[in-house]
Structure 1
Amino acid sequence: MINIDSRSSKPIYEQVVDGIKENIIKGILQPGDKLPSVRELSAILTTNPNTISKAYKELERQKAIETIRGKGTYVASNYEAKIDKDKLEVLKKQMKNIVIEAHYMGMEKDKVINLLEEVYKELRE
């Protein structure tokens, strides 16, 4: 379901957020699907429950999931994508770094675009 890299510089809660979002994009998780409880997911991933709680709070803030008291946490059924200007700037910087790395690997623009399309297709399959 979600892969955690303990050697990554990315915080674990962000890896959980990214993993759940990836599963939603891939269709593994559908709108209305019930997610494991904080304790269940922390046991599965062998992480601190506070880490999972922080990830769930972030996903709720982004309106990707919703928690119904006494019933559990679910993939949001009414999610609407919206552009967050701050996140867009972060994304732009990350893409710039990718283009720089690709250039120094000898990749031309069309190959970088093809690679991006390949990754996008992989997420949509």
Structure 2
Amino acid sequence: MAMEFNDYQPIYQQLMDHISQRICRGDLTPGEKLPSVRLLAAEAGVNPNTVSRTYMELERENIVESKRGQGTFVTTEQPVIEELRRSQAAVQADRFKYSMEQLGIDKDTAIGLLQHAWDEKGGSS
């Protein structure tokens, strides 16, 4: 099953975002082994070099760590995961704010819309 990618961002960055989001949600837990480069490439429908670059960039950001001969693993450093969660949330908040501004919606109305959406979907406070 190939993943769908947009044309606005390099595929390796989209894969980084996908993996980061899975870590933030807890789908990938601290210390968990990631799929091999070949397996993820096959699942995503991309070149293995793209997955290698994805893992290399995630490792550079300390989100994952490679263990020679064993594979690539999610970091066990909880502060790194919490910072990742905060930065991902900040990006989404900026996108929401920008979208509301483009629609001419003021801050109070935007917050009200967000609160309504949260309540409708049964989100936690």
Give TM-score scaled by structure 1 length: 0.71
Question: Which letter does structure 2 place at the counterpart of 1:49?
Answer: P
Task: Report the 3-state secondary structure (helix = DSSP H, G, I; strand = E; otherwise coil) of the residue aligned with 2:62.
Answer: coil
Number of residue-to-residue matches in the alignment = 110
The runs of at least 4 aligned residues of structure 1 exceeding 6 Å deviation read: none
Asked whether the equivalents of residues 64 and 75 of structure 2 are also in contact (C-alpha less than 8 Å), the reply is yes
Please give the residue correspondences for 1:1-125 in structure 2 after superposition, counting only pairs within 5 Å. 3-5=3-5, 7-81=6-80, 95=94, 99-113=97-111, 115=114
Give TM-score scaled by structure 2 length: 0.71
Q: Percent of counterpart pairs with the same letter? A: 37
- Supply the distance in 1 between the matched residues of 2:103 and 2:13 (Cα, whole angstroms): 28
Mind listing any 5+ residue stretches in structure 1 that lack a counterpart?
A: 119-123
- For 1:22-59, what per-residue CA distance to the aligned partner results, in whole angstroms no more than 9, with x for missing partners? 00000100001110011110001010011101110110
> What's the Cα RMSD here?
3.2
- Supply the distance in 2 between the matched residues of 1:28 and 1:100 (Cα, whole angstroms): 29
- Supply the distance in 2 between the matched residues of 1:72 and 1:8 (Cα, whole angstroms): 30
